[in-house]
Structures are given as C-alpha cells and as structure tokens.
Amino acid sequence: MMRLAAFGAMKENVAKQFLIFRDKHTWSLTALYIVTFGSFIGFSMALPLAITVIFGYQHLPDAAGVMGHSLKNPNAPSALTYAWMGPFIGAAVRPVGGWISDKVGGSIVTQWISAAMVLASTAVGYVMMQAYQSATPEQYFVPFMGLFIVLFTASGIGNGSTFRTIGVIFDRQQAGPVLGWTSAVAAYGAFIAPVVIGAQIKAATPQYAMYGFAVFYAVCLVLNWWFYLRKNAYVKNP
C-alpha cells in the first residue's frame, strides 16, 4: 500500500510538472531566456570566430574588383587575448540583474536590456560590415569589442531578471522544471549563433547575422511588454 501511495504521489507530481507545457508563460519565458542566456552562450562561442575571421585577415579587392579574404593581417588582434572578456563580464553581472530586478521588477529590467541588445546588435553588425570590407580591419576592433561587451553585459543582467521572473510566476514545484526547460532550449544558442554568424561571414555579409538577432530581440521586447508590462498584462512586472 505504501508503495502504491508513493507511486501515486510521484505520478501526480510528474503530471503537475508536465502542465508547464500548457502554460503560455512557459513559452513566453522560453523566448525571453533565449534572448538572455541563449545570447550569452551563443556569443561566447561566436566571438572568437568573429575576431579570427573578420580581423585576422585583410579584405582586399583583386584585379577584377572581387573582394578577397585570404591575406593574413599582420596587425590582427588575438582572439585568445580578448574573447574571454565578454563571457567573463556577462557572468559577473548576472547577480546584478537579480538584485536590480528585486528592486524594480524582473520584466522592466528585461525590457531595458532587450532594447539595449537591439541597438548594440544592430551597431555591431554595421561595424562588422565595415571591418569585413577593409584592408585594415583592426581599426574597427575597439568599437566591435566594446559593442560585444555591451551585448554580454545586457545578456548577463537579463539572465538574472528572467530567472527572477520565472520564480515569481511559477510556484516552487513548477519553477524548477520551467527553468530546466528554458535553459535547455536556450543552450542551443551555443550551436545557432556560431553557425549563423559563420554562414554569413562565408557569404561576405556578417552584418546580416547581427541584424537578424536584433530583429529577434525586438520581437521579444514586444512579447515581454505584452505579457508583463502593458496596462492589462497577464502578470504585471514579475
């Protein structure tokens, strides 16, 4: 009897956890966690690639005017020297995101960082385009790196804010499964971002990758506002 009771309780608990997939907030927060944690993971993988390929070579037209990207840049910055900075800063500011969210609410913080990521992603795309068309791409490295640090900082703060939002919206029994699900989906950013950026670099249009990310961030900014910040939001600024 005790075993049957324990099995029944476990079955009920599992069934309650699977109810998260019927909750609209699971899906809205999955998108928002991709913006924050997914971007952090994805850009951590993509940044060394971008530094190496865009700044490691001179970009010169041949006699026919076709741009070439095979000549080594003697003044290239080292990916090993700089690529760690973004992930380090993003991880360091994550608690700051949680702390600010405790003061003003998680969704308003997510809204601020989403807006910052739209602007920074657009700007870094433009800088990447300029560098990939230059014989001296290193002259664009400082703004490129600065903008990527903005992206890492915003994603780190947003990681803290979305984590808080999940804890406010869901009860203790469901918050864990929701966090596990959103984290698992967002972790695919480690695969998607390098593939997208790499493909666009090969197509000689690296800016399109960043512009695409900016569009996604803008969509999620509207999603966050609709669910959590508008006048009749489902849950007000959790």
pLDDT in tens, 51-106: 999 999 999 988 777 888 889 999 999 999 999 999 999 999 999 999 999 999 99
pLDDT range class, residue 13, cuts 50, 70, 90: low
Q: How many CB atoms lie within 10 A of CB 75?
A: 11
Closest by Cα among 97, 35, 19, 51 to 222 = 35
Instruction: Provide the residue type at 8 as one letter.
Output: G
193-226 pLDDT per residue, tens: 999 999 999 999 999 999 999 999 999 999 999 9
Domain locations in the chain as residue ranges: 25-60+93-228
Is CATH 3.90.1150.170 what the domain over 25-60+93-228 is classified as, yes or no? no
Judge whether 223 and 139 are in contact, CB under 8 Å: no
The DSSP string of 121-160 is HHHHHHHHHHHTT-S-GGGGHHHHHHHHHHHHHHHHHHHH
C-alpha span between 82 and 38 (Å, rounded): 21
The DSSP string of 48-79 is HHHHHHHHSEEEEE-TTS-EEEEEE-TTPPPH
Is the pTM higher than 0.85?
yes
